[in-house]
Each structure stands twice: as structure tokens, then as C-alpha cells.
Amino acid sequence: MLFFRNNHNIKSYILSLHLEPHGYIYYDSSMKIGVYGLGRFGYFWSELLAGKFEVFAYNRSADKPCPENVKRCSRDELLNCDVIYLCVSISSFEKVLKSLSPDIKPDTLIVDTCSVKTYPASVMKSILQKDVSYLATHPMFGPDSGKNGVEGLPLVFCSGRCDKSVQQEWISSFQEFGLNVIEMSAEQHDREAAFTQGITHFVGRVLGELNLQSSEIGTVGYRSLLEIIEQTCNDPMQLFYDLQHYNPFNHDMRMQLMQSVDNTMHKFTDIDREESDL
């Protein structure tokens, strides 16, 4: 696919577009995609994108492996890409963006992949120059949940400072990967994610402290709990901390969760008291 950096170039090319029956617009594959960060998710995401695009990946330290279908590049080569995905921890996002911002070319599209949305969207709006576009996305999966393919998995798409036609092209592109693209505001994402992703990671870490093991008599429900532990505890601890800290709605989620635990424990306290009175 070929994406255009501004609306003028799209209009100048519109007559030569070829529309397929399902409505997507196809172009030549000449767009350069850059990925900053080759951690667990950055490696996974760059490898996925390379199935359709020419992808360049940059990591500050050279010790991180790079997928075979992705070209490892220098910082300057990364900044020469048309679109740059930032696959970094939430807590380092602002620092990374500040370091890149002075050298980002006009009309470049910056896309974040953070697991929270109001924070990175606000940072991009305040730091990036007015002639640099940005979008906020959250692939609601990772190397573990997407190891058998991403067909049908959700990706949250939040509008940013970007031409509507370019946004639609990215939505179409994600759908071509088989992803279920869900459009919503950054605030709505964080509010819902607190009680979907946030609570899942919190409970997974709590259960991980119990060192639960597989069992021959383990029920389907128990095996599901072990899967939650595996999916959440395989992620870096920094992701867990960042999820809890940078989502403004996670504090209320934790308080409600603790209240629910207390309410349940009190039921047993009442039962024990009644038995002791017999």
C-alpha cells in the first residue's frame, strides 16, 4: 500500500485509484514504515507489519533481535520513514518523543501503540510540531495472545491530528490483517480498559504470586486462570506498573476490586461467627 502524507497528494492521485469490490483502496507498496523499539511487542508488531509493508526497525541498544523480514536501521534512517510506530514503554514515551521531535520531518505520521490512550495522545499533541500528524492506537493483543495469528483480534483506533482520508486508509489496512478495528475516543478507551485489560493484568499478577501449577484434576476454569497468569506475567513488570499508573481510571478499578474482595471475605467472617456461636 502507498499512503500519502497530505491531502494534496491524495487528490492529485485520485483518478488513478483502483477500487476493489469490497471497497478498500489499493496502491503500490512503496511506503516506508518505521518501528522504534524492538522489545517483545515491537519485535512482534514490526514482524506483523512487514507482511504488507517495507518495515525498518530501530532500537537504541543493538542487543535486541530483529525479525528476518524487517530491516534494522539507524536513527536517521528511521526518521526518513513515512510513518513511525513508537513501540516503547508508557513511562518512557514522553522522553522518547522529545528526543525525536526536533528531527521529525514535516508530514510524517507518528503512531503510538501504548496500552493507555489519553496520556500518549496528550503528549503527542503537546510535543509534536503542527506539521507532523499523529494517531493513537492500541493493538489489544501481543506476542502471547497473537502467537496463533491476529485474525479477529481487536485494535482500538483513536482519531488524532491526521487527515481523515489517511486515517481511513490505516483502518482499511488493519482490517486487511484481519483485525477488528474499534473506533473510540481516548477517554472512552481508558475508561473501558480499566475494567478489561487493567483488571486482567492486576488479577493475573495477584494469582502469579500464588505460584499455581497445572493439575490433572484442574477444571476448565482453573486452566483458564493459568492462561491468564501466563499471558500477563510474561509481559515486563514495567508494563504492569505503567498500566496501573498511566490509566486515570485504574485507581478506581483497584479500589472497587478490593471492596469486592472485602465484601466476599466478610461473608465468610459472618459464617465463622455463626458457627462459633453454636
Q: What is the spatial distance between Cα 160 and Cα 146, in angstroms, rounded to a whole number?
A: 26
Q: Is residue 266 part of a domain?
A: no
Q: Is residue 269 part of a domain?
A: no
Kind of pairing, strands 18-19 and 25-26? antiparallel
Q: What pLDDT score does 257 carry?
A: 94
Helix ranges restricted to H, 54-185: 75-79, 93-100, 118-127, 164-176
Q: Are 53 and 161 part of one and the same domain?
A: yes
Q: What is the spatial distance between Cα 197 and Cα 225, in angstroms, rounded to a whole number?
A: 15
Q: Is residue 267 part of a domain?
A: no
Query: Tens digit of pLDDT for each residue in 161-219?
Result: 999 999 999 999 999 999 999 999 999 999 999 999 999 999 999 999 999 999 999 99
Q: Is the dihedral of CA 195, 193, 87, 231 positive or negative?
A: positive
Q: Are 164 and 105 part of one and the same domain?
A: yes
Q: Are 202 and 178 part of one and the same domain?
A: no
Q: Are 236 and 178 part of one and the same domain?
A: no
Q: What pLDDT score does 7 carry?
A: 46
Q: Is residue 278 part of a domain?
A: no
Domain boundary among 156, 184, 212: 184
Domain boundary among 184, 215, 237: 184
Q: Are 79 and 204 part of one and the same domain?
A: no
Q: Is residue 222 part of a domain?
A: yes
Q: Are 240 and 140 part of one and the same domain?
A: no
Q: Are 221 and 126 part of one and the same domain?
A: no
Q: Are 226 and 90 part of one and the same domain?
A: no
- All three cell numbers of 88, joined, read 516503547
Q: Are 46 and 174 part of one and the same domain?
A: yes
Domain boundary among 184, 218, 233: 184
Which residues constitute the domain of residue 249? 188-260
User: pTM, whole model, 2 decimals?
Assistant: 0.81
Q: What is the spatial distance between Cα 193 and Cα 113, in angstroms, rounded to a whole number?
A: 14
Q: What pLDDT score does 30 carry?
A: 77
Q: What pLDDT score does 62 carry?
A: 86
Q: Are 145 and 204 part of one and the same domain?
A: no
Q: Is residue 54 part of a domain?
A: yes
Q: Is residue 213 part of a domain?
A: yes
- The list of the chain residues with pLDDT below 70 reads 1-29, 272-278
Q: Are 238 and 193 part of one and the same domain?
A: yes
Give the CATH number for residue 138. Answer: 3.40.50.720
The total of structural domains in the chain comes to 2
